[in-house]
Structure 1
């Protein structure tokens, strides 16, 4: 190509380029943004001061209303529910809390405030059309009221572990009760859970419990039942007595004999031999013969000997022996009863040699009258004629039994708390002192006697006794090989007690000096039974009893020491 051609080509006219405008879709988006901004502004303006959209409290929608309306709506919809009892669950135990009584309320205003302010983020506002946001309820709790309720709830959610129970039923079968685990709850955790969850929609608060297993569970009970109850109750356990009389422990009897205790997580058997003996004794009693000592019957001056009788008794220790071994032996279910002869301790021959011609001990006291005399006469009647066999112990309380109005006794003087008072049967201590001295000089063995708390002048100092039904007794034992008979005589204001038998000893009483005097205290009493007293000093005294045989040989010498309290000076209001 030549240069001319290039020049011509460069001179050709150039067409102007067409100018492009803003695309339609750009205008569309600009308009959409503008509309969105307008709607955002309108929405924000209309929502000012109102609860944000999509907010719920306890399932109640409070969005789009002002705070006062939201608060009222919550009161209306949730108020009743928040006053209902709350169930607290721990393990398999439960308790309840009444909110009103426990100082638990809802702070409605704070709950609404928790919903927050209107969000400025347009994306958040758009999402609120499609999403909900649950806001928790805020509580207002009084510590004192809640703590009081939680103390109770803690107790009700706590229990000790209970072992399984094993017993033999009346039907002869094992009776097993399941064990119960113990549990405790942590007090701080309980407080936290209740505070945070008492407004749960289901009305329940769950608290974790610490579980403590029982020492002995149901499995242990079942093992013991198989090992002990099953073989023991399989068949009758038979004890063959004399004269073809049998005693039988049936399967139904074992509930009285076989019990269990827990030891080391296992049930260990306890065999009640006494109960087994009781069951068998009722059936075998006809095979025994009760022994009887010789005794005496008096008709005036005539004495008749009631003969002794030898007996036969079952030796229960040897008969029952290894009760567990017998009970668990499935093959050997028959056993022989073991007997022993029981000889009379005081025989007819001994009784025939005895006599009551000698007065071996006697004593007299006096100075009583009125109600005391009535009681002394009555107790003397009850004791008159009593026989104390060789080696036997006589008990005044045991011989007379109750001494109340039904037995003919009346109210009379006694000593109460160191001063004079009254009670039914009062005055009998004078008879006790008389009997004590008669037995003293008869050479009887002192088993039990109690001096008065302060000295009474009509009795020998250091050689007297008081009694009180059920508490203070007078007892003495016959140490000789011959019996003694007690006789009594009440005449006027005096009572005499004599012990009759075979005289074998002479007895002497040697009183000591009164020492260690103590001064009386003053007392002022009221009441109809108050008895004024001028009082008397207390002191200490000894008494020595010397026992000699009939040839004068000393057999024993015993000294007893008695301390008397001062008798108080009593004035009556």
Structure 2
């Protein structure tokens, strides 16, 4: 009996040593994430994750809000698979004898997938969807060639953004884990517009009407670029609802496309001492001041290239 016990201990010791010797990779043998074997080097593990779970994580989610069927791209909604963090969490040797010998016998070692959620991006994406689903209409102002058009709000049904967030997150996790997810029916609720007619009138009077009244010019260095209400401004301007107020919003991509290389060669002294090229944010800041000007002089604004 003693000899038998000693032999068993010796056998287990040999197995443990063999397991340690064979399992020297960055990600231990038998390590899986959502059923995908990622054992090997860090680079191999990252590639395996990207080729399987990464592909799934990029697949649009099918959503239904009321009678409307839509697709939501996970990346746009702040839903991602962090392959690097997942691999980091799976690396390192486990010296537990049960685990070491188990890996030698083909036993799986499960690691968790890191699926970070940008709650702000998800909320914004669902709010955009809410604007197109249901019957409720938020009060706003639209910018059309040579005019600003007030759009009164209307009560009705709309997507319940807060209640929808957890449903979308769960659907994304299911999609990454299984490679497929059923269409998610998002809840809708009765909603009153948050923007009143009085607020629309104020925004028209203080911003929208003067903004579309004439051309504006933005200058920087020895360069200048005009923007007009007939073509340019309707592509750049919109309004968004923020806490019951209408706030102007600038499409920075459209703005950059419109001024193109108009400010090339102009550098701005930044607060950290560096000199960098003019950005769409710089132009939007100047544009905002020019748009509320009443005279030609007020509607011409120069970007300060050397602010003190």
TM-score scaled by length of structure 1: 0.25
Q: Which has the higher contact order (CA 8 A, sep 6+)?
A: 2
Larger Rg: 1
Greater fraction strand: 1
Greater fraction helix: 2
TM-score scaled by length of structure 2: 0.43
